[in-house]
Amino acid sequence: MPDQPTMSDVSMLVNGETRKLRLDVRTTLLDALREHLHLTGTKKGCDHGQCGACTVIVAGRRINSCLTLAVMHEGDSVTTIEGLGTPENLHPMQAAFVKHDGYQCGYCTPGQICSAVAMLDEIKAGTPSHVSADLMAQPQLTAMELRERMSGNICRCAAYPNIIDAISEVAGRKT
């Protein structure tokens, strides 16, 4: 006979607010957000780390929230799409996506936006990518750098060039 689920308490700082949850330890961070906190802006496209729809920013870094258990994030600060802006008060990246039509169905979009915001910080911090010519030099905001770094976020509607335009605008890159 299977055992009763193991429950555990976890407390996280979600979009600046302390949220305390008692969770089945098998609950992913993604499901904790979507099913327990009702923060459904973060999407589930695959639940296996293959699509990027569930991207959120944890302690400043973008992660696939489907690939991590919620209880591993005790005390962590988590930023979701809801924490970036609201329809009335869009984050610059959200506004740029609207302006450049960086989406179609919208399902990959929160993941793309969270990913883009954190990705620009990675460039700023000097983290090289697969396409960086010089691993020691400050990475440039080329279209190819952006495309490479965003490739974990699939968009089947394929708004790719528009997404790159939106990110470029926010990053101040001339297109």
Partner 1 sequence: MRFDTPATTNPIDQLRVIGQPISRIDGPLKTTGTAPYAYERHDVVPNQAYGYVVGAAIAKGRIASIDLAQAQAAPGVLAIVTAENAGKLGKGGRNTATLLGGPAIEHYHQAVALVVAETFEQARAAASLVRVDYTRTEGAFDLAAARNSAGTPKSGFGGPPDTSVGDFAKAFAAAPVQLDETYTTPDQSHAMMEPHATIAAWDGERLTVWTSNQMIAWAAGDLAKTLGISRDKVRVMSPFIGGGFGGKLFLRADVVLAALGARAAGRPVKVALTRPLMANNTTHRPATIQRIRIGATGDGKITALGHESWSGDLPGGGPEEAVNQTRLLYAAANRMTAMRLAVLDLAEGNAMRAPGEASGMMALEIAIDEMAEKLGLDPVEFRIRNDTQVDPEQPERPFSQRRLIECLRTGAERFGWNKRQAQPGRMLDGNILVGMGVAAAFRNNLLTKSAARIRLDGSGMVTVETDMTDIGTGSYTIIAQTAAEMMGLPIEKVAVRLGDSTFPVSCGSGGQWGGNNSTAGVYAACVKLREAVAQKLGFNSAEAVFADGQVRLGNRSVSLAEAAGAEGLLAEDGIEYGDLDKKYQQSTFGAHFVEVGVDAATGETRVRRMLAACACGRILNPKTARSQLIGAMTMGVGAALTEELVVDKRTGFFVNHDLASYEVPVHADIPHQDVVFLDEVDPISSPMKAKGVAELGICGVAAAVANAIYNATGVRVRDYPITLDKLIERLPNMQ
Phi/psi at 61 (5° precision): -115, 145
- Which of the stretches 33-41, 50-58, 140-148, 166-174 binds ligand FES when contact is defined by CB under 6 A? 50-58
Answer whether 112's CB lies under 8 Å from 97's CB.
Answer: yes
Least Å distance between CB 118 and partner 1?
15
Which single residue is written with the structure tokens 């973008």?
A: 62
Residues forming the site for partner 1 (CB under 8 A): 1-5, 24, 26-27, 31, 34-35, 38-48, 50-51, 53, 80-82, 84-88, 90, 94-95, 97-99, 101, 103-110, 113, 131, 143-144, 146-148, 150-164
User: Which residue, among 56, 43, 44, has the nearest Cα to 13 in the 3D structure?
Assistant: 56
Is 30 in a helix, a strand, or coil?
helix
CA distances from 134 to 75, 93, 95, 141, 148 (A): 36, 28, 33, 14, 15
Which member of 29, 37, 63, 64 binds ligand FES (CB under 6 A)?
64
Which of 4-12, 33-41, 73-81, 100-108 is the region at the interface with ligand FES (rule: CB under 6 A)? 100-108
Is residue 78 involved in binding ligand FES (CB under 6 A)?
A: no
